[in-house]
Structure 1
């Protein structure tokens, strides 16, 4: 429905969003490595590192050859694999636009913990909704959904440039597109619980992100910041 382009929301506590950039680079590197693999090797990586509820909850087992890491590690490793370039691009674009300000509000180390816990929460809810599923879950959407939820709670009034219907650029208060996006995830979870997209992972990340930002943010960082920050191109000369 919309694509975030950029916001003008300056960093207040950190000079550079090292963790956000690092996460994007790791995701891109893993994608490039999997693209360089043969189809059989890529399938092996998906089964070995993807989150498979039936395996994690001991309803099924993979052959020992896939046990390159402990089974529970897939709660995190799945979030660094992507189906294709567009899957990767959409997740990394959301992380780039929103991750820097959440990292600023939490600090580098806490933001990394926040991101990984949101990934775990996304996998957990996905698995609880369909514990017998043998399909691997992959993608950073659960973790990124947590970042979006945190940004919404921190900076709802910041002006956010978005492409509406993927073609109309508009500067909007962040709470408008982000509330619509969050509502869509819950709506689709009810409507399409076992569809191709794991709405459960998205909702799990959202719930974790909304909770964690309350307890992990720096002292003095407010929730629901009332300061309106507009893009420069939307400012009026006085």
Structure 2
């Protein structure tokens, strides 16, 4: 278990990562709106209507009549901004806070926004493909943020990250080891899981999408893998 706290990498191309801050603010605002629902049944109904349910996406199941919901294809994106609980929300937002600003800096505001949701889309599709009969809603930005992590690792593998391991051990190690270990944990958890209750495959789908898209989305003069600019 690794929790990042700070990386100390300065921004090169922008003063403020507006998209990163906006995504964090929107996720928190939507979560508060969800928590303000007077009944837990209403909260669960929103998660079902706006989360991505693989069996509904593939047309083998239907949502109950009268349930407010989006078209199933749109839930591939809407699920990204919902979270199950406080720990889920705070964990995702902390990773986005630490790593999102530098990836946005390397891509630019608009491209980073598109990149973020494409990574979430990739995660949603892989999860649905692995559990096509599942009736459990997939919610959370983990797939999208996994793509951000993959991009950050490709951009700054040698940057030393301050963080906490196993909930109490302070560490200050290169991103290659901190995030590489985190990626191995996701892969192991995905391979060992059988029920699809946690979106480990969404994490791997987001990672793969982020790694594939990063060379296409970064500015031309931004080097990969810690190389010096030409």
TM over 0.5: yes
Partners in 2 of 1:120 and 1:65 — Cα distance?
A: 27
Q: Deviations over 1:117-159 (max 9, x none)?
A: 0111111000000101011111111111110010000000111
1:193–1:225 distance in 2 versus 1, CA, 3 Å: farther
Decide whether the 8 Å contact of 1:154 with 1:223 is kept in 2. yes
Q: Which runs of 5+ in 1 are unaligned?
A: 228-238
In structure 2, the gaps of 5 or more residues are none
1:4–1:94 contact (8 Å) kept in structure 2 = yes
**Structure 2 match to 1:9:** 9
Q: How does 1:147-186 map to 2 (within 5 A)?
A: 147-186=148-187
The answer on whether the counterparts of 1:126 and 1:204 sit within 8 Å (CA) in structure 2 is yes
Determine the structure 2 residue equivalent to 1:75.
Answer: 76
Q: Distance in 1 between matches of 2:171 and 2:215?
A: 30
Query: How many angstroms apart in 2 are the aligned matches of 1:100 and 1:24?
Result: 11
- Return the offset for 1:70: 1.8
Query: Does structure 2 conserve the Cα–Cα contact (< 8 Å) formed by 1:157 and 1:226?
Result: no
Q: Is the 8 A contact 2:162 2:171 kept in 1?
A: yes
Asked if residue 135 in structure 1 is aligned to residue 136 in structure 2, the reply is yes
Q: Give the match for residue 98 of structure 1.
A: 99
Distance 2:7 2:76 in 1: 31
Which residue matches 1:235? Answer: none
Q: Equivalent residue for 1:121?
A: 122
Equivalent-residue separation in structure 1 for 2:25 and 2:140 (angstroms): 14
Q: Give the C-alpha shift of residue 218 in structure 1.
A: 0.6
Equivalent position SS for 1:72: coil
Q: Provide the rounded CA distance (Å) in 1 between the counterparts of 2:114 and 2:94.
A: 20
Take 2:201 and 2:212, find their aligned partners in 1: how far apart are those partners?
17
Contact 1:193 1:199 in 2 (8 A): no
CA distance in 2, matches of 1:109, 1:66: 34
Compute the displacement of 1:63 (Å).
2.8
Query: Aligned partners of 2:135 and 2:197: how far apart in 1?
Result: 13
The Cα RMSD (Å) is: 1.2
- Secondary structure at the residue paired with 1:184? helix
TM-score of the superposition, structure 2-length normalised?
Answer: 0.95
Instruction: List structure 1 runs of 4+ shifted beyond 3 angstroms.
Output: none
Quote how far apart the aligned CAs of 1:202 are: 0.3
| Equivalent-residue separation in structure 2 for 1:226 and 1:159 (angstroms) | 16
1:22 equivalenced with 2:31 (yes/no): no
Deviations 1:60-95 (A, max 9, x none): 111342354222110011111111111100000000
2:119 is aligned with 1:110 = no
